[in-house]
Structure formats: structure tokens, C-alpha cells
Amino acid sequence: MRLKPYLLWLSLLFFVACGNPSTPPKPPSEVVIAEKPEEVQVKASEQLEKLISFLGESNGKLNDSTTLRNYQLLRDIYSGSGYEPIWSENNRWKLLGDSLFHVIFKSKEFGLFPSDYHLEPILAIRNKFVIDTAARKNIASWTRADILLTDGFLQMARDLYSGRLVKDSITMRADSLSPQQLKGCLDTLLLTNQPHAVLEPLEPQHPGYKALRAALPGFLDSTQFRKYTYVQFPQADSMTLIREVARRLQEDTLLAADWQEQDSAAYSAAVRKYQSAHSIRTTGVAAELTVKSLNNTGWEKFKRIAINLDRYKQIPAKLPETYIWVNLPSFTLTLVDMDTIALQSKVIVGASKTRTPVLTSEIVNFITYPQWTVPYSIIFKEMLPKIQKDTNFLARQNLMVVDKNDSVISPSSIDWFKLNKNHFPYLIRQRQGDDNSLGVMKFNFRNKYAVYLHDTNARGLFSRSARALSHGCVRVQEWEKLAHFLVRNDEIRYHPDTLRAWISRQEKHVISDFVHVPIFIRYFTCEADGGRIKFFDDIYADDRMLAERYFRNKPIN
């Protein structure tokens, strides 16, 4: 069908007026020379205005490799100052511009990645000015560097305040900095000329964070960063695992660069050599411990430090005066009272398949000689097959079966083979006593996971170094000291001898009339110890998951 002349004219007019919507905006020229000194500031303002307009049209994308995430705030900042450069003047860096560049250059000391703050393009411009003095006349380079420095500063402020991890159900710190607050940070910087004095107050003030940050420069000075192959483990294909391990060993020059897959003897010898050098049992087979060691490079450690620093940015800016802190990877419970450690205890936490959840709650009561009601998850996964094989399993484990009326049912009267997840009209409980899985004390706190702190009848397990062994609850070695602390302000009724007497007589008591103590169960895999950074095993592989999600392609600067 042919368009009528006036319709064709309208369509052409619309195309000319609106342009082709698929055509990307054209960036400003990358070469704008100012030959005369009096032209510098005028052309710089013109270029800044064009750059800001272009960034608005391109959603902050300066080119294929650089995106400015704060481009909308940049528009407000530069338009408000008449599009004057912030960090340079008359083709010379201001002292503050140099200072900010060096803060970005050394931003690893904050647990940050310099590439997130445009280090590479800024450094390229600075180097070009040094190598080619004629390049200093290019106003386009100065204005690009100016905008990159401003965006880099704003993004550093954001990341230092709220981190890079996505907020989740346990994030308790205030929302991220508002545009007004970020602009206030920039204004303060321009007034004080001290980047560190502006940025550091944005960081968490938690003692653990401050100690880790203080130890980070020493870690960086003693660590050489190299990109290594990360070996995935376990793998369904054994040959793929061997290839990855071989590539990793080649990077350490333990295996010849021209190694052939059929040369299994050379591969095994290289694995044994690595194992011997790292105090791993020399088997010649790269199993779990060997692969963990291969992956434990300086670069991977830095990423773990960065993740842990960001975890501190998820907790409240100010913690309560008294609280319980359970750190799962270190298998420790710490009770803090008025900035003093009142109690420390070893704990046993959930195994990787039945992990202890991270959460925030408060201890509301504790029970002497508690009775354990077995969770259905444990019944179906572990107990039911054993009961079906031999109902005497219940008696051996001091377990009883009760119905919905809390009446005890004889196990022999039940057809256990007809029971399943969809039909199980009973509860299984463990009688209270010294052989109860909860031990002689249980501490309750509200949570949707039905977990709690408790004693255990397997106290020998506290001697193990790796204690991710439970079904999800936290077993506490110093349960008696914890109980005494909770009722410390009422020794008339709850004297330590009273609690011990109840336990010796195997009496059940529920104690709830004490000031509830907040409890934080968290996942931190490193901490500062004597000025050095100590790492704990990533028991639930959370570090690896977060590193893959957020830091996978970060360049080593």
C-alpha cells in the first residue's frame, strides 16, 4: 500500500525531529586543544557540560569499558558550579586532585578494588601527561579525568558506608547514603582537602572491623598478587579436575609447561611435591585439602577480606551494651558486656548440609534438664530408616513416641512402614537426662528456624578443631557460665549453687525473669589477631559464592 503524500511528509518530519531511536548518542570529541591559556577554563567548562549531557543520554556509559554509576549526581554537582573542573586548574593537578588519586590507587587498604573507582583510565591519562607534555593541552583528557575522579570518590563513599553485598534479612545498618549526603561528603572534602578524614568516618566503628582494617596494609605489603586458576571441587569429571589442578601446578612451575595428560607419573609427582611443601599428606592425589590449599592464594584471601569487611557494614552502626556474638566459622561464642569480653566459649555449629542460620534475636529463657523434640527433618532423613529396621533404636537413644494428645505410644504398636513425610501423626521426644542430646541446659531465642543454644551429651567433640557437626543448633561448651551470667543480677533466687542443685537433682526449671540479651549469629571467616589476619575455613562456602558473584572478574591492580 502506498502512503499518501501528506502522510509520507509527516513520517519524514517525525524521523527528522525525533531521530532514529536506535542510534546511540555521540560522545564528545576526545581531542580538544587549548593553545592559549585564556582558552583553558572556557573550553574545560564547555567540555564538562557536553560530557555530563552525554552521560545522561548514555545512562552513565562513557565508553565500552567505563561506566559512571553516579552520573545523575554528577550532573547536579557540575551544573551547580558552572561546570568548572574540581581537581585541576589551568592544565595542572590541584594538590587535592593528586591526593584523591593516591587514595584511589591504594584503595585496597580499605578492602576495595581500585578498578571500581576508574583507576585504569585515570592512570592512563596521568601517564600520558607525563610522557607527552603536548598532551597536557588536550582539554578533553582533563575533563574526562575530572569526572572520573569525582565519580570514583562518590562510589568509594557509597562502598565504604554500605558495602557491595546485597542487603538481606539480617542487614541492620541504615540505608545507603543519599545524594544529599554524598554531595555533603564532597563539599567537606573540598573544604578540608583531606580525603581520609572524609572517608574513614563512613566506615563501621565495630572493633572487629577496625582491627581487620588496621591489619590490612601489613597483609598487602607481604602478599604478591597473581592470577591463578581456581580449581573447582568436587567435580563429576575426574579428568576435568586433573586438568585444572595441572594448570594450577604449571602456574607454580611445579609441572612442566609442555606436560601431556597421559603422563600421570609427572602429574602425581608434582602433586606430591606441592603437598609436601604445604604439610599435606603426600598421596599424589589432589583431593579436598590439596585443592583448598591450591585455591588459598593471596588474591583469593584479599577477596575474602573484602567480603568480611562488607559483612560488618550489614550490622548495626552501634551494638548493644551487652550481647552474645556467635561466629560460625571460628566456632566461638563471645559474650560482650560494657565493651568487655565477659565470656568466651567453644561452640559446635551446623554441618554444611544442616547449616546454622545467620540471624539476630535475643535470649528469652533457659531450661534445665530440657526435653528434646526431634525435628521432622531429622526424623525423615536419619531416624525413620533406622526405626523401620529395628524399633529398639528408639530405646537405645532414649527416645519416646507421643501422639497429638501427648500420650506415650508403644513403638511396637505402630506400622512404621506406612509412615512418611505426608503421614506422620506422632512426635518423637528424647527423655531428659544426662544422655539427652541437649545436655542439661537449653537457651531459647525467637527465630523461624527452630534453633537454639544448648549443652550436649557429646562434650568430647569440643576437643576437635573443626566443629561443624550439628544439625543446626549451637552447642555451647561454657553453658553453665552463660546461665550464671544471664541471672547475675538476681543471685538471691538464682545463686550458682541453686542452679547446680537443680541439675544435680535432675529438675526441670524454666528461667525467664532476667533482662533479655541480644544474640547475633554471624559468618565471619577472618579476623585480626595481634596485628595479623587469621583466616577460618569457609565451612559453608559462602565466601566462594560471594566472590564469584561480586568479585569474579576484578583485575589485579
Among all residues, which ones are annotated catalytic? 454, 473
**Greatest CA separation found in the chain?**
103
H helix and E strand count, the chain = 19, 20
Cell (9 digits) for 421: 513425610
**One-letter amino acid for residue 205 of the chain:** Q
**CA proximity to 233, closest of 192, 281, 278, 285:** 285
Cell (9 digits) for 203: 566506615
Torsion of CA 532, 537, 541, 544, to 10 degrees: 30
SS3 138: strand
**CA proximity to 319, closest of 189, 192, 415, 204:** 204
- If 0-12 CB within 10 Å is exposed, 13-18 middle and 19+ buried, where does residue 285 land? middle
**CA proximity to 30, closest of 152, 121, 100:** 121
**CA atoms of 155 and 115, how far apart (whole Å):** 11
**One-letter amino acid for residue 80 of the chain:** G
**CA atoms of 263 and 513, how far apart (whole Å):** 70
Cell (9 digits) for 300: 583469593
**CA atoms of 483 and 368, how far apart (whole Å):** 10
- If 0-12 CB within 10 Å is exposed, 13-18 middle and 19+ buried, where does residue 178 land? exposed
**CA proximity to 40, closest of 139, 140, 141:** 139
**CA proximity to 84, closest of 140, 43, 23, 122:** 43
Cell (9 digits) for 33: 586543544
Residue 266 CB neighbour total at 10 angstroms: 15
SS3 178: coil
**CA atoms of 439 and 470, how far apart (whole Å):** 14
**CA atoms of 382 and 259, how far apart (whole Å):** 46
**CA atoms of 304 and 535, how far apart (whole Å):** 9
Pairing of strands 66-67, 61-63: antiparallel
Torsion of CA 302, 307, 308, 310, to 10 degrees: 130
